[in-house]
Homo-oligomer: A and B are copies of this chain.
Amino acid sequence: MKNIYLLIAYDVSTESSEGRRRLRKIAQTCTNYGQRVQKSIFECLVSETEYTTLKHQLLREIDEAEDSLRIYRLRDHSEKTVQHYGINKPIDYTRPLIL
């Protein structure tokens, strides 16, 4: 059951081509599980198994000596938990994801 709301935030140095490659890979991996809400932030709704797989993939892709990866488990996706202002409208998880 998809019942874990995750916020994934990463800082990857893009000075080297290697860093830029990691950045693309990390973003692609996150895209497979959720939606980009800001440049380096994704929100995902996943099951416990998907959570483990996603984390495993991301840890394979970052360089822990250079990058920062933060994974937050959110209480829910209510307005109280997530408030958004400005561009990039919030994601409505109750509406079907149009693929």
Contacts of A65 in B (CB 8 A): 86-87
Q: A36 CA to B55 CA in the complex, in Å?
A: 23
Majority SS of interface residues in chain A?
A: strand
Q: How many copies does the complex hold?
A: 2
Q: Which of B55, B64, B74 contacts A74 (CB 8 A)?
A: B74
Interface residues on A, range: 35 or more
CB of B87 within 8 A of CB of A68, answer: yes
Q: A19 CA to B70 CA in the complex, in Å?
A: 26
Contacts of A80 in B (CB 8 A): 73
Q: Contacts A73-B80, A80-B73; is A38 near B85 (CB within 8 Å)? A: no
**Given A10-B38, A70-B85, A73-B81, 5 other A-B residues pairs in contact with their CB atoms under 8 A:** A7-B7, A11-B39, A55-B83, A66-B87, A72-B74
